[in-house]
Amino acid sequence: MLRPDGTVFAAGASPAGTPGHTAIYNTKTKKWAKGPDFPRVNGVALACDDAPSAVEINGNVLVMTAPPVFNLGAVFFEWNGTSLTKIAGPPNAKIDGAYYGHFLELPSGQLLFSDFSKDVELFTPKGTFKAAWQPKITSAPTSVTKGKTYVIKGTQFSGLTTGAAYGDDFQDSTNYALVRITNNATKHVFYAKTTNPSSYAVQTGTLAESTHFTVSSTTETGPSTLVVVTNGIPSAAKAVTVN
């Protein structure tokens, strides 16, 4: 997982009874460094056998592990760039293998978690993002009409990470802009459909980006605010009137 600071957290599988290794790649120096092994829990080794992970809005990486190879008893850790910290898992963790889990980064900044069951969980990170990580709007309409399509321009619309990942089988990338409109009077939230992004590249800095958005027919009319949100991190709000 690529973190906002430009480092990549990598973790993998391991033989039965052997803790999984981690490694850190620095995209600025182009060098790898050895990271910590996953600690044993109650004497049991843990690793990432086709495991999911996601970058939280605070920059930490949430990763799911379990006893190798493909055994049950999932344990969750956070990587903060320096150390791995064990955190509480969802109710099904003890009967999950690492490969059971999937994460999806929501525009609220929460992580949606599923595990092959009918039980779906939400993880709410502690802390928040840095201002430098926010998308920035440089050009946006001040008046929009329901059902119409517009172009919005700015920087960092594709975010600083891909959001979430899963082993080698399935990815939940969210490195694209969403447009959120909030009615000033009711505080109700509406999402426009975004299409034709200029780029999916991440950590593009001041490079100009754009996306099209179509205002939904259910959006409430009147004075509102508009933000671009990517990987759960919103831009500063712009005033907009919905007609």
Task: Dump pLDDT digits (tens) for 53-77.
Answer: 999 999 999 999 999 999 999 999 9
Radius of gyration of the chain (CA): 20
- CATH hierarchy code of domain 131-242: 2.60.40.10
**In this predicted structure, what is the pLDDT of residue 196?**
98
Q: Cα torsion for 199, 205, 207, 212, to the nearest 10°?
A: 40
Task: Dump pLDDT digits (tens) for 195-241.
Answer: 999 999 999 999 999 999 999 999 999 999 999 999 999 999 999 99
Average pLDDT over residues 180-200: 98
Identify whether the C-beta of residue 180 lies closer than 8 Å to the C-beta of residue 193.
no
Of residues 85, 83, 84, 66, the one with CA closest to residue 75 = 66
pLDDT at 169 over 90: no
Domain ranges within the chain, ordered by starting residue: 7-123, 131-242
Average pLDDT over residues 119-128: 96
pTM summary value: 0.94
Whether domain 7-123 has CATH 2.120.10.80: yes
- Percent of the chain surpassing pLDDT 90: 98
Separation in Å, CA 134 to CA 33, 95, 139, 205, 230: 28, 38, 15, 11, 8
Average pLDDT over residues 31-41: 97
